[in-house]
Structure 1
């Protein structure tokens, strides 16, 4: 009965890690819809205003018929451009719906399984592992490898290569010393409005870095350009980012070669700011699309390590993390705690211990002289199989033989 309970699949908890799989296409659909609405409203307002002005001027005779025709032609051309944009938005919507449908179908397959012993579960869990690996590679910038794995496993609809490819491209541009691509992303469609709702400072920090680079290269740039940039993009935020704006003003009087004298300006001219900007962009991008800030593989690995970890796994006892001795059979070696293994012991050191609400301790525990503890029934059964006399027992792991009178009872308090 216990084995059946332990192998039973808790579907809701099983899919906690897969929430971004469903939520990301929905967020992208929302973003696509908002962008389409923004384009329609922007160009629709322009056409309405132009049409109203042209009609008024035509009736009053302030514009000639040929000019009216030219204006109408320009409005028609603009609306054709809107039609092309809407066609692109429609194609993107269809693509996202295909992704969402494939993902719902993939997750629904789990609800047809009720035990991890089901033959279909191994294939399903393998696909999920491949998804986690792809997600990790995408976040680390290995786009080609991630795409190749997705194509090989035929799970292109279950991963978001295009989204992370765009993010990594913009991030790399920032690391290369360019903020223009990130600024274009911030102001595309109604993204600027969404960032304002999030109280994001990304756009301001990008404009701030833009200003720093203008001042840094003042010998090759018109000095008035720095002042114009500050008035347009920095001064409106003086109440929100007063410290940064004040430093921007002082930066005009601080040459880059003298910046080391003042810590605040040394930090502004530091190349490390590009790394901070890239990390800020990544954080903002993930927040906007409701993506976890760390790879899903890390979350799954941390959860798995924590579920298996006990205080004994990192005990100071010399035998707690020791490898099996030469006396240990292969079957016993395979049952050694994974957290105590050489590969995972250090990796699991900083994760929390497992929370066990039920005890799985064997009855009638006995302590051997070497410090190991086993259930009496298991010791007797193993000694019988080994052909020992009734007054002898054998350590299941090390193979050491002891007299039955050397065993001590163990009580859990």
Structure 2
């Protein structure tokens, strides 16, 4: 019963290692791109300078200025590569630490060991920190990570970067998010994102809201027409705003003017950002909590007369409410749990039936009888019986 199922738990840990690995690969690709671009420019410039020098069309002072410009560009490249190198070191270190964390788990065999208690505490802390970061509590999350010495197990800086974009969208500014789309253009195309179009559409809406019709038309020609092959219907609707004021009651133009669209943009950006950063769509806390509750949930949990005090799903005010929409557990082999002790009834703790038909475990009834002169009391009905009247139950 205490043996760990390593495969089941590790199946949830894929993003934990994939995030730093992919960020490390991304840093390598970025540095390679910068180097190839600058080497190409450097080769062209040197060839041009050499050719003009031979032809005598460049003065020595011009050659010196051109070479100085090349040196400045190489200095700029060096600074960029230094910053990228810092990222590479960071994510390389995180990958090693996280792999070691999972390797430590692979050596743990039982649930009741001290090693598992320490390992699961670290896992719980990083899951809680992930939840806090997604909910915007970056300060407390950073303090928790620092106090538990698990900074390498969480990705606080990635959430800090995305928070700047979300804060701009909350201020009803698309500029920062559009810049983010530009920087991640190739990756957004891979996931078939429509975020950039949604942002362009919203900027047009804001121009229409301010009744700046000529600017709106010019904006549409420049930024919306490139999307006409895939979004012609949406473009047609949004162009209709030029004829309808912000206070219109006409659908769908009233919906287009609705300020709640900014919240939709934040949600769309967050979804795309999580996909690009390899975060799970839902917090891991939600996933693990739902999995645990679903494995415990039975039809009896929602029947007051059958609730178990030791079952979290049986509490209708807390976790029972969260488990309401989850599927019932599927057990190949059912377990019978004693209502008195919460222990499983099996060959070592036999189920025993009172004369009134209610069944409890042998250990719980004998302990109760030892404290009450051989008498046992049914917790459901309050009826009192002699322990000698209790009979074994055989389940087929």
The answer, yes or no, to whether TM exceeds 0.5 is yes
Which is worse superposed, 140-149 or 103-112?
103-112
Q: Secondary structure at the match of 1:239?
A: helix
Contact 2:98 2:153 in 1 (8 A): yes
Structure 1 residues 63 and 96 mapped into 2: Cα distance closer, same or farther (>3 Å)? Answer: same
Q: Which runs of 5+ in 1 are unaligned?
A: 1-5, 323-332
Which is worse superposed, 239-248 or 399-408?
399-408
Identify the match of residue 198 of structure 2 among 181, 202, 205. 205
Q: Which runs of 5+ in 2 are unaligned?
A: 337-344
- Superposed CA RMSD in Å reads 2.9
Which is worse superposed, 162-171 or 268-277?
162-171
For 1:289, the equivalent position in structure 2 comes to: 277
Q: Structure 2-normalised TM-score?
A: 0.86
Q: Equivalent residues in 2 for 1:394-413 (5 A)?
A: 394-395=377-378, 400-402=383-385
Q: Deviations over 1:106-155 (max 9, x none)?
A: 22211221111111211111111111110010000000010010111111
For 2:221, the equivalent position in structure 1 comes to: 231
For 1:144, the equivalent position in structure 2 comes to: 139
For 2:75, the equivalent position in structure 1 comes to: 80
Structure 1 residues 370 and 252 mapped into 2: Cα distance closer, same or farther (>3 Å)? Answer: farther
Q: Tell whether 2:169 aligns with 1:165.
A: no
Q: Deviations over 1:270-314 (max 9, x none)?
A: 111100000000000011122111111111111111122221101
Q: Secondary structure at the match of 1:252?
A: helix
Identify the match of residue 358 of structure 1 among 310, 327, 333. 333
Q: Tell whether 2:175 aligns with 1:175.
A: no
For 2:101, the equivalent position in structure 1 comes to: 106
For 2:130, the equivalent position in structure 1 comes to: 135
Q: Distance in 1 between matches of 2:147 and 2:365?
A: 52
For 2:311, the equivalent position in structure 1 comes to: 337
Contact 2:129 2:141 in 1 (8 A): yes
Aligned length: 384
Q: Deviations over 1:302-351 (max 9, x none)?
A: 11111222211012xx32348xxxxxxxxxx6xx3222234322222222
Q: Secondary structure at the match of 2:319?
A: coil
Structure 1 residues 17 and 168 mapped into 2: Cα distance closer, same or farther (>3 Å)? Answer: same
Q: Equivalent residues in 2 for 1:48-63 (5 A)?
A: 48-53=43-48
For 1:303, the equivalent position in structure 2 comes to: 291
Q: Distance in 1 between matches of 2:203 and 2:43?
A: 36
Q: Structure 1-normalised TM-score?
A: 0.83
